[in-house]
Amino acid sequence: MKITRTVLTLFFITLLLSASAQTWIWFPGDYENWLGNQMNNRRTERGVTIPVQWKLDGHEPLMIFTKTVDLEEPEEIEVYAEGEFIITIGWRIKYQGIKNEPLKVVVPAGKNEIKIKVLNYAKVPALFVKGKTINSDDTWITSPLDSRYATKNMKHPYSPSGYFMNAGTGNLNDPNSLPSEFKLPTKPMKYVEAKQMEGGTLFDFGIETFGFVKFHQLSGTGKLTLQYGETAEEALDAEHCETFDIVDIPAGKSDYTMPRSNALRYIFVAAENAEYDDVSLLYEYAPVEYRASFKCNDEEVNKIWEVGRYTLQLTTREVFIDGIKRDRWAWSGDAYQSYLMNYYMFFDLETTKRTMYTLRGSEPVMVHLNNILDYSFYWFMGIYDYYQYTGDVAFLKQIYPKMESLMDFVLDRRNDRGLVEGLEGDWVYIDWFDDQVDITGEVSFEQIVFCKSLETMTLCSEILGIGSEAQKYDALAKDVRSKLSDFWNEEKQAFIFNRKDGVNSDQVTKHANMFAIFYDYVSTEQKEEIKKSVILNPNIPAISTPYMRFYELEAMCSLNEQEYVLSEIKDYWGGMLKLGATTFWEKYNPEHKGLEHYTMYGRPFGKSLCHAWGASPIYLLGKYFVGVKPTKPGYQEFEIRPVLGGLEWFESSIPTPNGDIKVYADKNKIKVKASEGEGSLIFTSKKQPKTDVGTIEQIGENEFLLKINGDGQEVSVEYRAL
């Protein structure tokens, strides 16, 4: 009876979904890339707009949307499009639509191909069709080519799916809101303090934030100068504040909202022949859901988790950007970390997909992502992670041709040993280095992420059932993998930094070494050696960006060093909090003093004080303390490995595609509750643990496993933490 009701309910939900499933559709990637770059190109620096510094790819201006239907009776459809459009039904039944005006046409009974061409250079051709049974969704086929001219022998880079793709969608379901008009929502926000100063007023919003400044009842004949600051010092420094605006007062007296949103905690407003009643902010934000939660006995850690969440919230915009003051761009290496943090926080898939499409752009590939060699590699790994966390094979299928063509670009540029090097014009970034490093030749770090990317290609082509591709990439990956040992220095027990003309350098940095650990590219013994000889070795240069601290601490977590990691988190991220940070920074050096903390790139306020890569504790805590991760795509199967790592207790909820996994742990008790999938709770215990549901299995010395059924039932275990 219960089952029947569930089935019936599901049946009705399905009906409802299919009746209301129409959504805006487009050529996958084109709209996402366009939208992401609208955001990217809004960056300003000292009053000047700075478009992206890499190649900006356009979209296909003429898109053909097709759907074959077989109707029992004629059906009227309403067609909306972003662009001029022409509807052909079957052979020679043609209708013309005008840009942005819907058109109603009747599709005759019988089997017919509906073909709608949409033309738009300025914005991305998009389509919305509403009918009784005919609705625009991802079952429509999109192509810049007419299917009559579809050629089978189209070679790479458009294989395997050719250029005929299932339509892209993005939860834009209102026919009267054009996709190009997509805007993040805003809400009003008040400053907490206003100070009259010489020449103007300094407003403090109390916290790092982002939005449109609004002047209430603005009047006068002069102008306003706005100096934005992440610190009061920056807002007050006319010569050096990174962003400012000058407003010519419009005639009359009325509210005036700045046309562009900005990062700020402070604004200094200087009025020249201008008056206003008040200032406020329209806080602009991504409407993400706070799906994860985390609480523990340590208030500093709780605060770090919350500030991490807010940092990720602010840097989540149309796409995941690096920082909200600067650069306000999607960068592949930065975004890769946002994706991972997002799986342990918002589980927002649209922003993730949009960012990946924005970073990759269109065909042909002419430069590395963001011009950076390593940033191409993170992009591959990001896609596999996405699949692993979401199980969304449709997206993988859509983006696979773009993976292939990027990998072709990479493979075309290998040296004669089959390894990658930064060629002229390539930026070999890895991290900001405080000391000089030689990034030419074969850099060990780049080979490691190259190898991982090839393994990713193997996995993805296997998932899509393209055996020949999988074989090809597997062979390539094995070849690169076999050459990693060339970089190993037995004496130093470390991977050296680079190799030129067959000669290894003496230099060692942490980067290649820590990736080799959590990619499992070295033996257990080597890992322990690297930990001592590199990670914990004070003679190896310390990492000073949260960006690479992310991976350094991930490597340590993978070595079960959660206690070390927790103390580092408290020290490093806690250190920023102690300096008054309300969001985490682009770079933090505990040695710095006073205003020195805000300098970067030779500019007094060059540093971004709200930088996505600063938020890594939310990922580390979710994945390595709460211990939740999928082991089969989309959390069909998952692991929970709770580790207190020095905490007394924690309580957390981690999102899964259609539910969540709740975990409580203290030294004597673990409680878990999962609402989908099949889980394995794995934990260590000094004593034989007990449970109320299921059977605990011993799988190692002090190590136990309990199967968890994703039925929403709470499972409690009594144990004794090691």
If one asks whether residue 604 binds a second copy (CB under 8 A), the answer comes out as no
Neighbour count for residue 256 (Cβ, 10 Å): 19
The minimum distance between CB 376 and a second copy, in angstroms, equals 13
Site for a second copy in 352-371 (CB under 8 A): 363-364, 366-367, 371
The minimum distance between CB 567 and a second copy, in angstroms, equals 41
The minimum distance between CB 158 and a second copy, in angstroms, equals 7
Of 425-433, 505-513, 590-598, 695-703, the window that binds a second copy (rule: CB under 8 A) is 425-433
Site for a second copy in 107-146 (CB under 8 A): 117, 119, 121-123, 144-146
What is the 3 state secondary structure string of 159-182? CCCCCCEECECCCCCCCCCCHHHC
The minimum distance between CB 499 and a second copy, in angstroms, equals 19
Tell me how far apart the alpha carbons of residues 700 and 695 are, in angstroms, rounded to a whole number.
Answer: 16
Of 151-159, 249-257, 506-514, 688-696, the window that binds a second copy (rule: CB under 8 A) is 151-159
Site string for a second copy, 4-43 (x = CB under 8 A): ------------------------------x------x--
> Are the C-beta atoms of residues 588 and 597 closer than 8 Å to each other?
yes
If one asks whether residue 150 binds a second copy (CB under 8 A), the answer comes out as yes
> Are the C-beta atoms of residues 268 and 240 closer than 8 Å to each other?
no
Site for a second copy in 610-669 (CB under 8 A): none
Burial 59-83 (b: 16+ CB within 10 A, else e): bbbebbbbbebebeeebebebbbbb
Which residue in 570, 109, 516 sits closest to 302, CA to CA? 570
Of 105 and 312, CB closest to a second copy: 105
**CA contacts within 13 A on the Cβ side of 683:** 39
The minimum distance between CB 606 and a second copy, in angstroms, equals 12
Site string for a second copy, 154-183 (x = CB under 8 A): xx-xx----x--------------------
If one asks whether residue 425 binds a second copy (CB under 8 A), the answer comes out as yes
> Do the strands 678-684 and 637-640 form a parallel or antiparallel pair, or are they unpaired?
parallel
Q: Of these, 86, 232, 282, 682, which contacts a second copy (CB under 8 A)?
A: 86
Burial 299-315 (b: 16+ CB within 10 A, else e): eebeebbebbbbbbbbb
The minimum distance between CB 244 and a second copy, in angstroms, equals 13
Tell me how far apart the alpha carbons of residues 42 and 54 are, in angstroms, rounded to a whole number.
Answer: 15
Q: Of these, 2, 4, 17, 148, which contacts a second copy (CB under 8 A)?
A: 148
Q: Of these, 3, 48, 251, 503, which contacts a second copy (CB under 8 A)?
A: 48
Residue with tokens 């890769």: 336
Provide the β-strand partners of residue 338: none
- Number of residues this chain uses to bind a second copy (CB under 8 A): 56
| Phi-psi sector, 425: left (phi>0), alpha (psi -120 to 50), beta | left
Neighbour count for residue 483 (Cβ, 10 Å): 16
Of 217 and 415, CB closest to a second copy: 415
In what helix (H) or strand (E) does residue 625 lie, and over which residues does it extend?
A: none
611 secondary structure, DSSP code = B
Of 116 and 454, CB closest to a second copy: 116
369 secondary structure, DSSP code = G
If one asks whether residue 84 binds a second copy (CB under 8 A), the answer comes out as yes
Provide the β-strand partners of residue 62: 119
Q: Of these, 4, 17, 72, 152, which contacts a second copy (CB under 8 A)?
A: 152
The minimum distance between CB 150 and a second copy, in angstroms, equals 5
> Are the C-beta atoms of residues 311 and 334 closer than 8 Å to each other?
no
Alpha helices in 331-372 (DSSP H): 332-343, 349-360
> Are the C-beta atoms of residues 652 and 373 closer than 8 Å to each other?
no
Q: Of these, 153, 436, 468, 539, which contacts a second copy (CB under 8 A)?
A: 153
Residues that bind a second copy (CB under 8 A): 34, 41, 45-62, 84, 86, 94-96, 117, 119, 121-123, 144-146, 148-155, 157-158, 163, 363-364, 366-367, 371, 412-413, 423-427
